């Protein structure tokens, strides 16, 4: 598995293990030793630095949680000395931020202690190969970057599934650069969360993060929203207006639902990506912007390109780095983690006993296929908490399948509530319905159904008094379920 022993014994490659656990150091030394490989172990960062000074190791494997110098600090010190240092970080149960930051500071890999036994040899082998390749090529000295954020006190970005850990690593890697990133995945998987994390961990963290939903802004206004306009550029342009590219010149601009961007705007965006230049609508001045562009879509952009709705050249510019977030049903192990996280957040926002799930409730959440992904899970738990009468949530409290947008209300681009309301509005007015009475009836009926005709809960859901609810139930002839 490892390179053949070399003729010259001094050309042995060295692996330095830094871990406060003697047992781990011992295990690694035995497990990794090979004729061509020397393994050295130390139990803290200071010793590691000293040893590495005398004889730099080819690969360093570092436990994140140690003191007084943490693994992350050691990584930074090692990479500060040698920007090509090959450092592999490891720990049991790493936080999301730790994984992202380790990549940001240039770790070669992040391995979890639970799986390290299966992975470490292959990873070390590829690290050693990469190191060899680096040694023969010209060493370019990229300055190391200073840390600008401490370990996040609270984690808001959950994911233990291997696919999500890869997403975190990608976030860390791309946070170091300014290249555009394309974020893909189904509706509700967390595309915006990823975009915000890239910004948060980047050097632009203190600058603005601006999100634009290309599907939500009327097409004729999108161009002016992004690039600004001159006074008199079109009817209603009473004064000059700055565009988002101008406002966010040193920050991050997140173009959500980029698949919905009209072709004319696409060509202007292409120019920004190629030259960093654009002009306001109705203006001739050339403006420059340094905004970093992140884009997201739940459409198949390759298909959009094939259909002529999306510029191929723009697609390739944006697609240099792609982060794909898998649907929740493909990372079922994250469901209980996310569910507990949302529940805890809701519990701390409400007075009274903290909520918890019964075992069956957690199981039913994990078994469900979550077509609306994390957003649907979050909404489901929110509703369960609102309707709960005890602090233990049972399967019957969880309205599975009711919180994903119905196919009819799913509008192109994902189906936010406001888009769904637009759609309702249009269809009702077209059919000559009286909108408010109709909505009132539909909502009352649904509230009664979903609370099993519990009038107290239904009234609470609708935000009206029980007396008002009773009147509506009578007026609309809503049939109450038999209780009991």
Nearer to Mg ion, 119 or 192 (CB): 192
Nearer to ligand ATP, 108 or 157 (CB): 157
Q: Using CB under 5 A as the criterion, which residues of the chain lie in contact with Mg ion when the complex forms? A: 191-192
Nearer to ligand ATP, 45 or 188 (CB): 188
Q: How far is the CB of 155 from Mg ion (least distance, A)?
A: 20
Q: Which residue is nearest to Mg ion (CB)?
A: 192
Out of ligand ATP, Mg ion, none, which partner does residue 228 contact, by CB within 5 to 8 A per kind?
none
* Separation of alpha carbons 223 and 219, rounded Å: 8
Q: How many CB atoms lie within 10 A of CB 300?
A: 12
Q: How far is the CB of 298 from ligand ATP (least distance, A)?
A: 5
C-beta separation of 181 from 295 below 8 A: yes
Nearer to ligand ATP, 34 or 164 (CB): 164
Out of ligand ATP, Mg ion, none, which partner does residue 189 contact, by CB within 5 to 8 A per kind?
ligand ATP
C-beta separation of 212 from 253 below 8 A: yes
Q: How far is the CB of 172 from ligand ATP (least distance, A)?
A: 15
Out of ligand ATP, Mg ion, none, which partner does residue 343 contact, by CB within 5 to 8 A per kind?
none
Out of ligand ATP, Mg ion, none, which partner does residue 289 contact, by CB within 5 to 8 A per kind?
none
Q: Which residue is nearest to ligand ATP (CB)?
A: 190
Q: How many CB atoms lie within 10 A of CB 436?
A: 9
Q: Say which residue the tokens 């690694």 belong to.
A: 28
Q: How far is the CB of 94 from ligand ATP (least distance, A)?
A: 15
Query: What is the 3-state composition of the chain as percent helix, strand, coil, each rounded to the nearest 5?
Result: 45, 15, 40
Q: What is the DSSP string of 353-389?
A: SPPEE-HHHHHHHHHS--TTHHHHHHHHHHHHHHH-S
Nearer to ligand ATP, 344 or 350 (CB): 344
* Separation of alpha carbons 111 and 119, rounded Å: 8
Q: How far is the CB of 373 from ligand ATP (least distance, A)?
A: 7
Q: Using CB under 6 A as the criterion, which residues of the chain lie in contact with ligand ATP when the complex forms? A: 156-159, 185, 187-193, 298, 338, 374-375, 378, 414
Q: What is the DSSP string of 48-67?
A: HHHHHHHS--SEEEEESS-S
Q: How many helices, marked H, and strands, marked E, lie in the chain? A: 19, 16
Q: How far is the CB of 376 from ligand ATP (least distance, A)?
A: 9
C-beta separation of 165 from 110 below 8 A: yes
Nearer to ligand ATP, 169 or 191 (CB): 191
């Amino acid at each position: 598995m490892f390179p053949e022993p070399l003729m010259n014994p001094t050309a042995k490659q060295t692996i330095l293990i830094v871990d406060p656990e003697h047992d781990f150091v011992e295990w690694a030394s035995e497990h990794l030793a090979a004729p061509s490989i020397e393994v050295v172990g130390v139990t803290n960062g200071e010793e590691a630095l000293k040893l590495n000074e005398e004889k730099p190791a080819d690969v360093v494997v570092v436990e994140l949680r140690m003191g007084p110098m943490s693994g992350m600090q050691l990584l930074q010190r090692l990479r500060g000395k040698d920007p090509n240092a090959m450092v592999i970080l490891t720990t049991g149960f790493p936080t999301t931020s730790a994984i992202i930051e380790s990549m940001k500071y240039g770790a070669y890999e992040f391995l979890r202690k639970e799986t390290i036994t299966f992975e470490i040899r292959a990873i070390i082998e590829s690290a050693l190969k990469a190191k060899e390749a680096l040694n023969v090529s010209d060493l370019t000295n990229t300055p190391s970057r200073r840390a600008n954020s401490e370990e996040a006190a609270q984690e808001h970005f959950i994911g233990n599934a291997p696919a999500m850990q890869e997403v975190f690593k990608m976030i860390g890697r791309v946070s170091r650069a300014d290249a555009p990133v394309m974020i893909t995945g189904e509706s509700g998987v967390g595309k915006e969360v990823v975009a915000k994390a890239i910004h948060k961990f980047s050097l632009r963290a203190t600058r603005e993060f601006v999100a634009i939903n290309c599907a939500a802004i009327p097409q004729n206004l999108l161009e002016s929203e992004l690039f600004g306009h001159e006074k008199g550029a079109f009817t209603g342009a009473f004064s000059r207006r700055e565009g988002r590219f101008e406002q966010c010149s040193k920050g991050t601009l997140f173009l959500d639902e980029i698949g919905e961007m009209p072709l004319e705007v696409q060509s202007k965006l292409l120019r920004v990506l190629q030259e960093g230049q654009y002009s306001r609508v109705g203006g001739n001045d050339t403006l420059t912007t340094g905004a970093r562009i992140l884009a997201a879509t739940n459409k198949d952009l390759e298909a959009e390109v094939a259909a002529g709705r999306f510029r191929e050249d723009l697609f390739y510019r944006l697609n240099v780095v792609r982060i794909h977030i898998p649907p929740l049903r493909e990372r079922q192990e994250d469901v209980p983690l996310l569910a507990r996280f949302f529940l805890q957040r809701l519990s701390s926002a409400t007075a009274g006993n903290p909520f918890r799930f019964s075992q069956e409730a957690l199981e039913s959440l994990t078994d469900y296929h979550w077509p609306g992904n994390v957003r649907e899970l979050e909404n489901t738990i929110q509703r369960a908490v609102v309707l709960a009468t005890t602090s233990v949530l049972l399967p019957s409290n969880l309205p599975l399948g009711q919180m994903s947008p119905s196919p009819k209300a799913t509008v192109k681009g994902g189906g936010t509530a406001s888009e769904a309301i637009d759609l309702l509005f249009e269809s009702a007015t077209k059919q000559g319905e009286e909108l408010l009475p109709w909505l009132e009836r539909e909502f009352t009926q649904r509230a009664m159904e979903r609370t099993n005709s519990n009038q107290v809960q239904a009234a609470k859901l609708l935000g009206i008094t029980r007396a008002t609810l009773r009147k509506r139930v009578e007026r609309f002839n809503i049939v109450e379920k038999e209780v009991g």
